Amino acid sequence: MSKPRVPVVEGMFREDAEGTGRLLGGKCPACGGFFFPKQWSFCANSACDGTELEDVELSDRGTLWSFTDNRYAPPAPYPAREPFEPYAVAAVELADEKMVVLGQVARGTDIGALALGAEMQLVVEPLYETDDEVRTVWKWSVSNG
Amino acid sequence: MGDVVVLGAGMHPWGKWGRSFVEYGAVAARAALADAGLEWGDVQYLAAGNTMRNGYPGYVSGATFAQALGWRGIPVSSSYAACASGAVAIDAARARIQSGQADVAIVVGADTAPQGFFGPLPGDRPQDPDWLRFHVLGATNPTYFGLYARRRMELYGATAKDFAAVKVKNSRHGLHNANARYRKEFTEDEIAESPVVADPLRLVDICATSDGAAALVIASAEFAARHQDTARHVRIAAVSTVTPTYPNTYLDMPDIATDSAVGAALPERSFRDSIAHAAYEEAGIGPDDLSCAEVYDLSTALELDWYENIGLCAPGEAESLLHSGATTLGGRIPVNPSGGLACFGEAIPAQAIAQVCELVTQLRGEAGERQVEGATTGLTINQGLFGHGSSVIVTR
């Protein structure tokens, strides 16, 4: 039997059909501003008096703002696999939310082929496994259209 | 408000010495006092920058250094603003003098750094963005430096060779600095052989983490005139410790996302542009008035970003400015005459203070082989994670 897939942290994203999902953020009904992650219960826009945030799904597509990779294992609490597998990180700009969101780049992506402005799609992939669960995380993948 | 003057600057050399940060801080404090011609007993206020990785003494650094130097009953403060901690401590000491509550104060920052990447504090804290970025993304500090560098390449056509040229320049500057950890001249070929850490940045593009300490003795102009030849006086013309203005739409450590620009007007200036701007406004000068600058080269590429953020050139022109030789010793506006973080590595709470120590040495004309000829005005720039700006302007 396959292990259940569980988000690596609660409340930041949701996995729908295997491999797809949405980021979960906050939206201020007063000013319309978005927040990710939804750190607090109120709006942090200094020009807004909003005292509550709605739970919203963020766009699952955006354009590539920048990217890099990590060739060496980061320190804890990164759950590095043994042997360490290098991974890339992308910063993606969401048009509707007018914000940039980081994520690892989907496994198998050729980062040499990435370029700023590329259309990116949110996916959900395993980050690591415990004895009982597959812990998942959101990642950015080059959009196939 | 009256002028505040630097009377003394002192440092403990940067390195990996394996001793307590308190020892380094005490050495730097005593060096600054000796440079000022004062005794510890003359000091009326101590402001220190905290360190997060050395237990409780690091969180109460003001008291830690006061105890180490010998309790004298004076008030202290302990500031933390990550890499900007030293500037916040300078600001606290300066305010004490400007308000007339003290005539003379000492500012101290010291660190004992771990090997390798900085990690977050231990524990399981999904509410802490610094923990989240490591656990969920594996986004180290060099990850962010790599993102900035790649964006510079794509927006402005910067190349790895441009970044290497920053390293070559700073490594030459640092050869002449006895406090620098790395005194080795790098060639472009050596840099090209260095392993990639966070594409496009190589190991030698990224600053190391170091042990080190820096201290300043500062005083009111009246006190300074009584205690030291005015020919040595360096005036603190501005201290900027600004924070971002919402919405901050540039990705900053340790955040996973920027602010959203929906529902809010963009600020007049980006956060990074606003840091030096506030200092220029206070000092009543502009970038053309600078003789030299110490900028926070966490990576080689970031030094180029700072040229633009402090107004040395327009966005996209930093590479041209670098290759013109303007920012090299002997050029129009030498940047990082100390050798910068490339030669020091970062000792977090000491770094902003060390930047000022270098400018004081330059403005006094005491920098020897790395002297900027005729230096009269200098600016430091630095940024601490979680939204801390840091810039100091000193003048003769």
Asked whether the beta carbons of residue B147 and residue A91 sit closer than 8 angstroms, the reply is: yes
Which residues are paired to B235 by β-bridges? B5, B395
* Residue the block writes with tokens 């004081």: B360
Cα–Cα dist B223/B325, whole Å: 40
Q: Looking at B37-140, list the stretches that DSSP marks H as alpha helix, in order from N- to C-terminal side.
A: 56-59, 61-69, 85-98, 129-132
Judge whether A74 is closer than 8 Å to chain B, CB to CB. Answer: yes
One-letter amino acid identity for B373?
E
Of A37, A102, A115, the CB nearest to B139: A102
Predicted pLDDT of residue A1: 65
B160-174 vs B300-309: helix crossing angle, rounded to 10 = 90
Closest approach of chain B CAs to the CA of A8, in angstroms? 7
Q: Which residues of B182-205 are buried (b: 16+ CB within 10 A; e: fewer)?
A: beeebeeeebeebebbbbbbbbbb
Asked whether the beta carbons of residue B246 and residue A31 sit closer than 8 angstroms, the reply is: no
Q: Given its phi and psi angles, is residue B185 left (phi above 0), alpha (psi -120 to 50 degrees) or beta?
A: beta
Closest approach of chain A CAs to the CA of B151, in angstroms? 5
Predicted pLDDT of residue A145: 66
Asked whether the beta carbons of residue B140 and residue A70 sit closer than 8 angstroms, the reply is: yes
Residue of A nearest to B195 (CA): A71
Asked whether the beta carbons of residue A9 and residue B249 sit closer than 8 angstroms, the reply is: no
C-alpha B166, offset from chain centre: 17
Judge whether A97 is closer than 8 Å to chain B, CB to CB. Answer: yes
Q: What is the pLDDT along chain B (396 residues), one digit of tens a residue?
A: 689 999 999 999 999 999 999 999 999 999 999 999 999 999 999 999 999 999 999 999 999 999 999 999 999 999 999 999 999 999 999 999 999 999 999 999 999 998 877 889 888 899 999 999 999 999 999 999 999 999 999 999 999 999 999 999 999 999 999 999 999 999 999 999 999 999 999 999 999 999 999 999 999 999 999 999 999 999 999 999 999 999 999 999 999 999 999 999 999 999 999 999 999 999 999 999 999 999 999 999 999 999 999 999 999 999 999 999 999 999 999 999 999 999 999 999 999 999 999 999 999 999 999 999 999 999 999 999 999 999 999 999
Interface A–B counts its CB contacts (< 8 A) at 154
Whole-structure pTM value? 0.97
Cα–Cα dist A89/A102, whole Å: 7
- Cα torsion B119, B178, B298, B120 to 10°: value is 10
Judge whether A37 is closer than 8 Å to chain B, CB to CB. Answer: yes
One-letter amino acid identity for B12?
H
Whether B332 and B287 have beta carbons less than 8 Å apart is answered as: no
ipTM of the complex: 0.97
Closest approach of chain A CAs to the CA of B237, in angstroms? 30
Residues 6+ apart with CB under 8 A from A100: A65, A91, A92, A93, A94, B249, B251, B257, B258
Asked whether the beta carbons of residue B264 and residue A48 sit closer than 8 angstroms, the reply is: yes
Predicted pLDDT of residue A144: 81
One-letter amino acid identity for B163?
F
> pLDDT digits over A44-94, tens only?
999 999 999 999 999 999 999 999 999 999 999 999 888 999 999 999 999
Q: In B, which residues are within 8 Å of A47 by CB distance?
A: 246, 264-265
Q: In B, which residues are within 8 Å of A70 by CB distance?
A: 138, 140, 142-143, 197-198
Reply yes or no on whether the pLDDT at A17 is more than 90: no
Closest approach of chain A CAs to the CA of B345, in angstroms? 19
Whether A6 and A135 have beta carbons less than 8 Å apart is answered as: yes
Judge whether A39 is closer than 8 Å to chain B, CB to CB. Answer: yes
Q: In B, which residues are within 8 Å of A137 by CB distance?
A: 136-137
